[in-house]
Structure 1
Amino acid sequence: MHNLKNLFTQHIDAGLYPGVEWKIIHQNSIFEGRLGYLDFSSKKSLGTNSLYRIWSMTKPVISVVILQLIEEKKIKLDDIITEYLPQFNNLTVLKTRDSNISDTVNINNIPTIKDLLLHTAGFSYNFLGDAVAKEYHRVGLFHSNDTTLEEEINLLSTLPLLCQPSTEWVYSVSVDVLARIIEILTKETLQSVLEKRIFQPLEMVDTSFMLEESKLDRLMTSYEFDPLQKKLNEPSANTQKIEGYGYPTNSATYARGGHGLF
């Protein structure tokens, strides 16, 4: 543990991270602590109640709700997604991985709920290098802080898949599709569903898609690592943008399945 703390200190002193917080459970022992700052400029120390953008750890929260709905017999693993999202009835798939975005063929089968959970539905992700990911980027899929989840999923339904459903594992936006299905099944906003089913029962009082004004001074500042300069870029006007430094703290419409929680 001493060696680990020394390593964290070296990284903070080198400007690679503003701060580090950890909790390690080994057998019957718990090792926890924190070093560094919420941000470099203020030098405000990390506290026991500091807040973070948890990015893709949003995904398991969404997946738990889906499993709850399966237990309640409101949805099945083998259900095809068009039972809930008929706009995906006209999906196509790239002919090959090297195909032009317009060179597509029909899908062999419609993705299922199981495919969405396993990332085998055929979707891609904006930051991957394939042709579908580049198309996501070109059309601005999940790039706006002001669109609803419904609007983003409607846009996704107009774009081709990267591969045939159930044939390959590709890390993807599939959990965002699950999140929209949750909204449709429950007839509630995603925030409301998570609040009732997860956050309130577990007393997760600080977990949400939005942060109250009074909590902002506890939020870790988002930085972007510059691999060429080997340093963190200072936050700027881009801080609230998806591409780069973070996602918004105060958007009433911003709720996603793949990221977005604090």
Structure 2
Amino acid sequence: MRAPLPPAELADLGLSPERMRHLVGVLQADVERGRLPGAVVVLARHGRIALMEGIGRLDPARDAPMARDAVFRIYSMTKPIVSVAVMMLIEQGRLKLADPVHLHLREYANQQLAVQTPTGVALRPVQRPATVQDLLRHTAGLTYEFLGDSAVQQMYRKEDMGTRSRSNAEFSHALAALPLMFEPGREWAYSRATDVLGRLVEVITGQPLGEHLRQAILAPLGMTDTAFVVPEADHARIAEPFAHDPDGGIPLRLIDPRETPALQSGGGGLMSTAADYARFLQFMLNKGTLGGVRLLGPRTVDFMTADHLGTIPGNDPALLPPGHGFGLGFAVRTAAGVAPMPGSVGTYHWSGIGGTSFFVDPAEQLFGIFLAQAPNQREHYRALFRTLAYAALVD
């Protein structure tokens, strides 16, 4: 397979070979005891690959080993890529961060807020409209239907906002017809906001989201295996979860990468590989450039990976841990301590509900990627991988 970045000796990158073997060994032990189906892990520092290894099986139903070029459903790791596409349009002057969403998507004019009263849910006009910045930082008042059981989340479920059978335009109109759960700008709440950004990209560019991402980002960065559907020739490379979750609980039905969806979900629809996503993260770590191609200015990357919440509170410590804020598409570390996992101030990260995660530490010139299809174990491996990666950093 094509190497995502040049390799290097571990000692030259300040990483302990013994501790790196321990990282792989811990994950391999989980494979052997049946908790992890398989994974691809990547660690890179100073622009060079320190570790890129497949562990376990590609598909628990088959005996094929996990390949480094396995294709994963990356779900919400789609969001940073779409956020970059939006910021590229902002750099081009085609929209502004402070623009009200309804300036470009008219269906979001006159949105209403759902307010719980003693007699039930009442609707009232929002005090200010949501902006493009609100969508990027998840302060637009939207939600996800699977994160709770509020009146608005019940409306999302009744409207089947998770279906992939609507086009991006149809999705946007259906969502805009529902009330907001929060006043825009008042609370950080993880949501379908990046799906709205995907539709915004289509309206601004006149292209389907997938085609625009391919032309503007994926092809220039050499991300040849990243798309909303996996072509038939690559179906044998798709990583699969356990048929029955080893920890029990309610199984998450993963999307089928072989099907062409009507919805090109900017919030969670892409499939990708370790090599492709490593190129994207190195592009971010390089502050907007890779291989002689510049897609963003360095100040824009700094702006995206700064905290944009300030005193705006978050409502989910599992998704936005203590010691973190949120930028434009990424969670951002704001304190050296406090958080339940290691990292430098300025480290940014995100993950996907299917079991994938990444982090980027500009202070250490380090990034890590963990790709697995283990939905119910995602929080465990997100923290474990980060902890083991920093333990291997010795210089």
Q: Same fold (TM over 0.5)?
A: yes
Q: Any conservation in 2 of the 1:122–1:166 contact (CA below 8 Å)?
A: yes
Q: Which runs of 4+ in 1 moved over 3 A?
A: 26-29, 96-100, 222-226, 231-234
Q: Any conservation in 2 of the 1:222–1:246 contact (CA below 8 Å)?
A: no
Which residue in 2 is equivalent to 1:218? 237
Which residue in 2 is equivalent to 1:66? 86
Q: Distance in 2 between matches of 1:97 and 1:199?
A: 48
Which residue in 1 is equivalent to 2:264? 255
- Gap change, CA 1:253 and 1:113, over 3 Å in 2: same
> 3-state DSSP class of the match of 1:103?
strand
Q: Distance in 1 between matches of 2:190 and 2:52?
A: 31
1:57 equivalent among 57, 77, 86: 77
- The C-alpha deviation readout for 1:161-220, integer Å capped at 9, x for no partner, is 111001110011111111101000111100110010011101111110111100000010
- Gap change, CA 1:3 and 1:199, over 3 Å in 2: same
CA RMSD of aligned residues (A): 2.3
1:255 partner letter: Q
Structure 2 unmatched ranges of 5 or more = 1-19, 272-395
Q: Distance in 2 between matches of 1:43 and 1:84?
A: 50
Q: Any conservation in 2 of the 1:94–1:162 contact (CA below 8 Å)?
A: yes
Which residue in 2 is equivalent to 1:77? 97
* Identity score, percent: 29
Q: Any conservation in 2 of the 1:93–1:163 contact (CA below 8 Å)?
A: yes
2:70 partner letter: S
Q: Any conservation in 1 of the 2:218–2:226 contact (CA below 8 Å)?
A: yes
Spell out the pairing of 1:1-262 with structure 2 (5 A cutoff): 1-26=20-45, 30-96=50-116, 100=120, 102-131=121-150, 132-143=152-163, 145-223=164-242, 226=245, 230-231=247-248, 244-251=253-260, 253-262=262-271
Q: Any conservation in 1 of the 2:52–2:68 contact (CA below 8 Å)?
A: no
- Gap change, CA 1:7 and 1:225, over 3 Å in 2: farther
> 3-state DSSP class of the match of 1:31?
strand
> 3-state DSSP class of the match of 1:64?
helix
- Count of residue pairs the alignment pairs up: 250
Which residue in 1 is equivalent to 2:274? none
- The C-alpha deviation readout for 1:113-164, integer Å capped at 9, x for no partner, is 0100110000001211141222211220122x32211111111011111110
Structure 1 unmatched ranges of 5 or more = 235-242
- The C-alpha deviation readout for 1:221-242, integer Å capped at 9, x for no partner, is 144774xx615999xxxxxxxx
1:153 partner letter: S
Q: Any conservation in 2 of the 1:97–1:162 contact (CA below 8 Å)?
A: no
Q: CA deviation at 1:32?
A: 2.4
Q: Any conservation in 2 of the 1:66–1:182 contact (CA below 8 Å)?
A: yes
> 3-state DSSP class of the match of 2:79?
helix
Q: Distance in 1 between matches of 2:79 and 2:171?
A: 17
- Gap change, CA 1:66 and 1:129, over 3 Å in 2: same
- Gap change, CA 1:124 and 1:51, over 3 Å in 2: same
> 3-state DSSP class of the match of 2:178?
coil
Q: Any conservation in 1 of the 2:130–2:140 contact (CA below 8 Å)?
A: yes
Q: CA deviation at 1:15?
A: 1.9
1:34 partner letter: G
